[in-house]
Amino acid sequence: MSTAAPARWPRIVKDPTAFKRPPNLADPQAARERFRWSDARSWLDGLPGGAGLNIAHEAVDRHLQHGRGARIALRWIGKTGERRDLGYAELAAASSRFANALASLGLGAGDGVFVLMGRLPELYVAMLGALKARAVVTPLFSAFGPEPIATRCEMGDARLIVTTPELYQRKLRALRERLPRLAHVVLVGDAPPALLAEPGVHAWAALVDAQPDTWTIPATPPESPSLLHFTSGTTGRPKGAQHVHEAVLAHAMTGRYALDLHDDDIYWCTADPGWVTGTSYGIIAPLVCGVTSVVVEAEFDAATWYDVLERERVSVWYTAPTAIRMMMRLGTEPLAGRDLSALRFMASVGEPLNPEAVVWGREAFGLPFHDNWWQTETGGIMIANVPALDILPGSMGQPLPGITAAIVQRGTDGHVHPVGPGIDGELALKTPWPSMMRGYLNEQARYAKCFDGEWYLTGDLARVDDEGYYWFVGRADDVIKSAGHLIGPFEVESALIEHPAVAEAGVIGIPDETVGEVVKAFVALKPGFEASEALNRELLGHARKRLGAAVAPKSIEFRTNLPKTRSGKIMRRLLKARELGLPEGDLSTLESDEKK
């Protein structure tokens, strides 16, 4: 019995004779000892002529050379049920056309190419094409409001953005003056002629479709920048986690080991490519592993999702706790009579997966959900419940081959040191590994703060048990996870204090049964303003308009004063403790411990 496993949730013992197919990682323990990153490199081709390692080559073009061009890479299912299959050969041609389009605009290596759109085929083509051109790609979540979009485009020096006419008009058009470096906007779908007459605005069809469908990927040293993913910290602006092409080794390893992808799988990652999971595991890893990925444009709806699982014969499914909890609420009845016999492996990521949900998977789908852990900075899955490992419901699993994890605490010498099983501390990972971020954009000091010697400090609190399973305890900082999306309280506070009535704002996450946490703001008003229902509504509307639905607070409470440290920082921890009726302890005397 492990020290940390709650007795209430019995171990799910894996019986190798019952696997629908032998897992890629048959013996995780042995692989942890034997695995070298050079093994993952040997599964890939590298660019022809030893010209380096490019993610898009490994994800797409390589398959053509192995006779797999006709295999379906993406099976897109549109909101109104329309379908489009893109084979690996077609995806290679389409992404090459996009790389040529970038070149025709004078864009290439190192230039910032952003995408802001829902799950449309062009999103996948653009991201892969930009990687082929060695541009630096940033996905933006389509539910962001203008403020998060502008901040990220400014910080990441966006030169071109691919979006839809609707999103352009609603969110981007008014920002063009503020973003003088954003020279090109590529609109996917039918755009009104007036929009296309605006400076630098192009129709996808006119710009991309007529380009040559061959493209020679320029030499790509493995350390070349590939993706810039924005994530949130406790303070200041969002952090731009800089990734490189070498990360593809980790995508290959984790796709194969953590998600158990075999090249004949039908795979479905429900995450939106506006976030890192939807990019690393909705685009790169599955393509590198040569599977067919189902892409569903529509937002969550249990009946639609079950239809997709059944009709598409999905074999590997990667989803998230919020969605699982929403399905649980409906019970197993909507699943009655469905043929889900193709389903072989189910995994979850992004927020704590309650043990109930792991177990419910068995009741509903005949399989447990396999939780795994990683974050934007790590670039790929680090800790996972892999198929061959027993599950201790509530645990995130064990470190993958090539990854060394520990729970650390800071000692009197000022440095972190691993602690033993059963003791809470910060989850740390031993550097390096290929998909680790190489920096925070223009913020060397913030980046340096993430490390102590060889340890990368994740900002998560966890513990390990005596079998080596990791258990999530909480965040060490104030960031909020709502429906799997990481939200920086500072970004929300900044938008609120732009309102003329607001003197100060403190933003926290309040526990929520379905989405994990919901964003709540506490606001102190400027003299001359009175708290009222109407002002509350106005502030909620203001925040929603500026930040978008994904980031804005769901509720606002007025306070005469907000608790502050001696240096004047708002003590979110104290706000939270008071809100939740938790002991305040010595919180009131602490400087709010600002992490990265």
CB of 514 to ligand AMP, least distance (A): 16
CB of 426 to ligand AMP, least distance (A): 11
- Cα–Cα distance measured from residue 333 to residue 342, given in angstroms and rounded to the nearest whole number: 19
Could you please report the per-residue DSSP string of 270-287?
Answer: -S-TTSHHHHIIIIIHHH
Q: Two tokens at 450? A: 């993430």
Q: Which is nearer to ligand AMP, 315 or 378 (CB)?
A: 378
- Cα–Cα distance measured from residue 320 to residue 278, given in angstroms and rounded to the nearest whole number: 11
Q: Which is nearer to ligand AMP, 98 or 456 (CB)?
A: 456
CB of 180 to ligand AMP, least distance (A): 30
CB of 17 to ligand AMP, least distance (A): 28
Q: Which is nearer to ligand AMP, 211 or 375 (CB)?
A: 375
Q: Name which of 317, 250, 263, 256 is nearest 290 in CA terms.
A: 263
CB of 475 to ligand AMP, least distance (A): 5
Collapse the DSSP code of 350 into the 3-class scheme (helix H, G, I; strand E, B; otherwise coil) and give the result: coil
Q: Which is nearer to ligand AMP, 427 or 495 (CB)?
A: 427
Q: Which is nearer to ligand AMP, 172 or 507 (CB)?
A: 507
CB of 479 to ligand AMP, least distance (A): 8
- Cα–Cα distance measured from residue 451 to residue 240, given in angstroms and rounded to the nearest whole number: 17
- Residue 495, phi then psi, degrees to nearest 5: -65, -40
Scored b (16 or more CB within 10 A) or e, 51-80 reads ebbbbbbbbbbbbbeeeebebbbbbbbbee
Q: Which is nearer to ligand AMP, 319 or 375 (CB)?
A: 375
Q: Beta strands of 396-436 (E only): which ranges?
A: 398-399, 405-410, 416-418, 425-430
CB of 139 to ligand AMP, least distance (A): 12
Judge whether 293 and 268 are in contact, CB under 8 Å. yes
Interacting residues toward ligand AMP by CB under 6 A: 231, 276, 349-353, 371-373, 375-376, 396, 458-460, 472, 475, 481, 486
CB of 242 to ligand AMP, least distance (A): 14
Q: Which is nearer to ligand AMP, 473 or 497 (CB)?
A: 473
Burial of 290 (0-12, 13-18, 19+ CB in 10 A): buried
Judge whether 267 and 294 are in contact, CB under 8 Å. yes
If phi > 0 it is left, if psi is from -120 to 50 it is alpha, else beta; for residue 548 that is left
Q: Which is nearer to ligand AMP, 320 or 343 (CB)?
A: 320
CB of 321 to ligand AMP, least distance (A): 8
- CA angle 170–320–402, rounded 5-degree value: 115
Q: Name which of 550, 556, 595 is nearest 579 in CA terms.
A: 556
CB of 349 to ligand AMP, least distance (A): 5
Q: Which is nearer to ligand AMP, 211 or 376 (CB)?
A: 376
- Residue 470, phi then psi, degrees to nearest 5: -100, 140
Q: How many residues are present in the chain?
A: 596
Q: Which is nearer to ligand AMP, 352 or 563 (CB)?
A: 352
Q: Name, in order, each residue with C-beta under 8 angstroms of 484's C-beta and a sequence gap of 6 or more.
A: 271, 275, 277, 320, 321, 322, 350, 351, 516
CB of 144 to ligand AMP, least distance (A): 14
Determine the straight-line distance between the first and last CA of the chain, rounded to whole angstroms: 36
Q: Which is nearer to ligand AMP, 28 or 352 (CB)?
A: 352
